[in-house]
Amino acid sequence: MKKLIVGCITVSLILIGVVLYQNNFDMKIEDELIQMKEGKLQLEYALPQNKTKEKPGIVFFIHGDGPTTKNADEGYYPAWEVLAKENYISVSWDKRGVGNSEGDWLSQTMVDREKEANEVIEWALTHFDVDKEKVGVWGASQGGWVIPKVLNDNNKVTFAIGVAPAVNWLRQGKYNTIAAMTEEGKTKAEIDTTLKKEAAINKFLEKDDYEGYLESKLDDEPLSKERWNFIIKNMSLDATNDLKKITKPYYLIIGDSDINVDVSETELIYKEELPRDILTVHHVENGTHQMLKKRHQNTHTGTVLEAIWNPRQIFSPDYFKALKESLPN
């Protein structure tokens, strides 16, 4: 029995050691609470461990939808490590009303988020001594509507990395419904029924008739008034006009297993609107909307366990390769 106990303890210690090792990222993480015009923001940034004679570059991470934390529950760490090894600082922050950041992200438009990003960029460029030719913005999903605005309006930003950005809000929502239900094995009749329901909800949204929407009982779990207002503010979004104005390098990263965004449409429109000499498209094989391997398309216990065991391994390797190739030398 004593040998068995000792053996179990030894195995446990080895497993703990492996997990700690795999979660020890080659970068230095720091936090800072800063005062902005609309209230305090909780920032987190990752600094390169290895000092070089060259000034580092810097990349600002613009979140997608939802109440996202400054490091996306540490989901950004593998990407930040890639950037740190390339001598880049990564900067991100809790969304408004999340963590220690003040305010409410559901009250924001994409223009509000652009202004917020520009404030953070201004703070960071006075806080860090960086290479002014290597100042980038990274935007995922909904953040893809923000970064073209920042790229166009902020003359201190020199490049952008868009990860699975949509072009049109309403078309993206319809595509997501069809693709997700198809993935679940739903029939065409079931999909058509859902699309009709969503079209009816959009009619209420267009009229801003929240009471009528509630009375319709179209949703078993109705949208909150806060989410309703957020959708109304943003449902007319279309990135096309912002794309037409871009004159700086834009790196588009899209996965072949994305069921959230029609990346074929995204690629087509980006190629139509951006000059060839500034647009680079990276195709991520076996990559989902979050750049995870396809087997992690839907979060489940296996994904969580693998993320704990080795967080780098849940991502498609092509994603990290694309990130490296999207950085100015």
- Tell me: the pLDDT tens digits for 183-215? 999 999 999 999 999 999 999 999 999 999 999
d(CA 57, CA 7): 48
d(CA 289, CA 272): 22
Kindly list the domain boundaries of the chain, sorted by start residue. 26-167+241-325, 171-233
Please tell me the predicted confidence (pLDDT) of residue 1: 45
d(CA 71, CA 238): 27
Please tell me the predicted confidence (pLDDT) of residue 307: 64
d(CA 151, CA 237): 17
Q: What is the mean pLDDT of residues 229-253?
A: 98
CATH superfamily, region 26-167+241-325: Alpha/Beta hydrolase fold, catalytic domain (3.40.50.1820)
- Print the SS3 string covering the chain: CHHHHHHHHHHHHHHHHHHHHHCCCCCEEEEEEEEECCEEEEEEEEECCCCCCCCCEEEEEECCCCCCCCCCCCCCHHHHHHHHHCCEEEEEECCCCCCCCCCCHHHCCHHHHHHHHHHHHHHHHHHCCCCCCCEEEEEEHHHHHCHHHHHHHCCCCCEEEEECCCCEHHHHHHHHHHHHHHHCCCCHHHHHHHHHHHHHHHHHHHHCCHHHHHHHCCCCCCCCHHHHHHHHHHCCCECHHHHHCCCCCEEEEEECCCCCCCHHHHHHHHHHHCCCCCEEEEEECCECCCCEEHHHCCCCHHHHHHHHHCHHHHECHHHHHHHHHCCCC
Please tell me the predicted confidence (pLDDT) of residue 198: 98
Q: What is the mean pLDDT of residues 22-51?
A: 92
Please tell me the predicted confidence (pLDDT) of residue 299: 63
Question: Which pLDDT tens digit goes with each residue over 66-82?
Answer: 999 999 999 999 999 99
| 277: pLDDT strictly greater than 50 | yes
Please tell me the predicted confidence (pLDDT) of residue 20: 36
d(CA 183, CA 168): 22
Read off the pLDDT band of 135 (50, 70, 90). Answer: very high
Question: Which pLDDT tens digit goes with each residue over 155-170?
Answer: 999 999 999 999 999 9
Please tell me the predicted confidence (pLDDT) of residue 302: 60
Read off the pLDDT band of 294 (50, 70, 90). Answer: confident
Read off the pLDDT band of 56 (50, 70, 90). Answer: very high
Read off the pLDDT band of 309 (50, 70, 90). Answer: low
Please tell me the predicted confidence (pLDDT) of residue 6: 32
Tell the burial category of 202 from Cβ atoms under 10 Å away from its Cβ (0-12, 13-18, 19+).
Answer: middle
**Out of 9-13, 80-84, 174-178, 305-309, least confident range:** 9-13
Read off the pLDDT band of 288 (50, 70, 90). Answer: very high
